[in-house]
Amino acid sequence: MYSTERSELVRQALDKVLESPGFAQSPQLSSFLDYVVQKTLAGKAHELKGYTIGVEALGRREDFDPQTDTAVRVLAGRLRKALDNYYGEAGEKQPVQISIPKGGYVPVFSFLDDAADDKETSEQTTGATPAVHDRATQTANITETVDRLTGRVASLQNELDLHDAEWERIGDRLQKPAPKQLKRPPLQL
């Protein structure tokens, strides 16, 4: 959860983004961004799923199915691009920057002021690793993930090697000639 001061800084940054021409002209993008930021600040980031965004932020009907209707995913992609454009131009020097990493809908708030020694992390109760805004921590997290995945790949390779050996053993048995059938002498009566 963010401190009251940090939450207020995020809300001010949100207002500036929403007032910018790229967002003021797109009510859907504005609604999407406002919804995910407010939910996150309220400590409800775990509720940010395609269905809830579609129904609560974008006004889709209750029978909305995010698996078949890609509207939320498409709009999330447009939102990421619009935020990149905003922070690449008018919002470049804003003290708080909002982004939405690919793969989810939980916004990340980067506090750019030098006074923030402890970089904030977004509140994510989804079980995923929280998004961290400190480069050293990001690098450490990436290194840890790579190491973990490298270990998993090695483990899978060992499993494959064992399965290959088993198949070779089975293949050797199948290729051996079958034992000769003993011919029974015909029955004499």
pLDDT tens digits, one per residue of 7-30: 899 999 999 999 999 899 999 999
CA distances from 63 to 16, 43, 54, 138 (A): 34, 26, 10, 39
Percent of the chain predicted with pLDDT > 90 = 42
Long-range contacts of 87-90 (CB under 8 A, 24+ apart): 90/20
If you average pLDDT over residues 135-144, what whole number do you get?
64
User: Which pLDDT value is given to residue 73?
Assistant: 93
User: Which pLDDT value is given to residue 179?
Assistant: 61
Residue 67 has pLDDT above 70, yes or no: yes
User: Which pLDDT value is given to residue 129?
Assistant: 39
How far is 160 from 12, CA to CA, in rounded Å?
54
User: Which pLDDT value is given to residue 94?
Assistant: 87
Residue 189 has pLDDT above 80, yes or no: no
Strand-pairing partners, residue 98, are: 109
**Domain parsing of the chain, residue ranges:** 4-124, 134-176
Per mean pLDDT, which range of 71-80, 98-107, 114-123, 166-175 is the poorest?
A: 114-123
User: Which pLDDT value is given to residue 164?
Assistant: 74
| Residue bearing tokens 């454009």 | 85
User: Which pLDDT value is given to residue 3?
Assistant: 78
| Residue bearing tokens 């009907």 | 61
The radius of gyration of the chain from alpha carbons, rounded to an integer in Å, stands at 28
pLDDT tens digits, one per residue of 84-124: 999 988 878 888 999 999 989 999 988 876 444 444 444 33
What is the pTM (predicted TM-score) of this model? 0.60
More confident of the two residues 167 and 81: 81
More confident of the two residues 178 and 114: 178
